[in-house]
Structure 1
Amino acid sequence: MYPALSTQDAFARYEAIRARLPGYIGQDASSSSSYNQRQSQAEKYIEAPNLGALADKFDVFVFDAFGVLNVGETPIPGARERIDALRDMGKTLFVLTNAASFTFPQTIEKFQKLGFDFRPEELISSRAVCEMHLDDYADVGHWGVIGPEDYHAGQLTLPNSALGIDGADYDRVDGFLFLSSAGWSRMKQTMLLHSLAANPRPVVVANPDLVAPREDGLSLEPGYFAHDLQDALPNLSLKFHGKPYGSVYDHIHERLGDKNNADPSRIAMLGDTLHTDILGAQACGWTGILVTDHGLFKGHDINDYIASSGIKPDYLIPSI
């Protein structure tokens, strides 16, 4: 078993892999200039009591799920009412979730069970975006999938099989798709590492998160294990889809269609994590609003983490 991470542990790990994230100061100027300009312009975030106080400033609202709309399987009080109020104001709404354990129909069902009434076109999962890009890997004839317990090969249109505890299965496939860490173990991680060391192949990760807030603490997510692989195998072909990486933001811009010419600073990203939600949003010119009372930084002084990371949200609210 892997040890549970505290908020401090998770933050330290995000900082350790900072050079692999968008907006890193060591990247070329064309890829990081929007983020760096935003950071230099704002020495201090603006606090607001809730999202209602900021609603007039934005035309488009993009919500993270965990820590903003729900914690684990529990909806956050008042979240549904805020969504309804924004919809009544004519705002454009999206949910951008890194939760990749679910198929798209399961994602729709999940939010319905949580009490939300999002339309299918308002829901964007990193898994769905990831699957759109698998055709980029022409040399991968058969994918090995690390998925949840209910995963089956019919969930993908490309040849694939689920990976379990048989090391030979890892050696047979041409590439790896990491969807879910549910049921993942140190033994499986070791088998994957040894297989990749002996025969390098691409690894595609549909959830870049290191952790996610649950009712009983922080769960370890696929990004945690993927970065451990890259630590051990620096030349690993590793691709992430999901916040803070660009493909999911590009997809939202495609969804916006005619509205895509709007001022990107009037697109607000609501999230609970500096290194994913805020960093990714600001890297593409959006406004980052950090929600503090329910997610990664619940019960912590956010100022310490902002000062240490240099990632400054534009706004801070306790809850939406």
Structure 2
Amino acid sequence: MSSHHPLPKAELHLHIEGTLEPELAFALAERNGIDLPYATPDELRSAYAFSDLQSFLDLYYRLTAVLRTEQDFADLAEAYLERAAAHGVRHAEIFFDPQAHTARGVDIGTVVRGLSQALDRSEERHGISTQLILSFLRDLPAEDALKTLVEAEPYLHRISAVGLDSAEVGHPPAKFTQVYAAAKAAGLRLVAHAGEEGPPSYISEALDLLGVERIDHGIRCLEDPELVARLVAEQIPLTVCPLSNVRLRCVDRLEEHPLPAMLEAGLLVTVNSDDPSYFGGYVEDNYQGLQRALGLTDDQLRLLARNSFLAAFVDDERRAELLAELDAPSRSSILG
């Protein structure tokens, strides 16, 4: 990252398990007596080369094995928050995948309590307000998601929303109608990954059948002009992850990313890092990469930051604070 002061921004599409840097993976493996199939952090980093979403997921789930204790999850979240603060993040809505942990015998309470240790101190330590989003793994049965929601009940005071992630193709949103209705009844906000590798129809399904308020990714909406018109009219936020799209071969090169066309269409686009340790960059790296590869102007980057605050699940008072920081006069000439 360059030495300029990053714009204040919210990060709304970030998987905490995807922030596991190789060095921390090795440290946790040693602490927990786990053998990793790599000799060094550098060797592990070189394995972070993916042909598609599934090849990434295979490694991602294998590495979750090092996360065992509350302290492991606290260390993971604290490492992310330190980096996020340096990237100008003022509010972070953080996905976690309970099923990836409960499937290997780690209780959901261990995960939530551990993450909360770091998140509860985040505003004081890093100036970052935070929320947790419980993500269901869409390649597992819907019954498993319902069971997970029940297991999460004692911790719902710490959870703001539910999401839907993992392998998209062949797992349409419709599969999760019942669990989303239950989550809504429990007072949770609703988001879902849709239209990354899956078709534009998955975006419509997520809106109409699941009732989501925000679409994670959504880049394939451009294939359906009627859907684009609807997303613009309703100002449904899209949490786009450019470096992730390139790394997972949804877009061949950053120079070809559809984000400028999405902005041009009037879509409420935000920029996020997804799984930054695996995809070659945290959120400011995405902003800077877009500016370099696509010639985005300072005003366009500022619009993306503004959109992130408009799309965040914060109250009006916090949103006003965040927007005021973005609009402060001292911000007018800081982009380098």
**Shared topology, TM-score over 0.5?**
no
Which fold has the larger relative contact order, with Cα–Cα distance below 8 Å and residues 6 or more apart in sequence? 1
Higher strand share: 1
Higher helix share: 2
| TM-score, L = length of structure 2 | 0.32
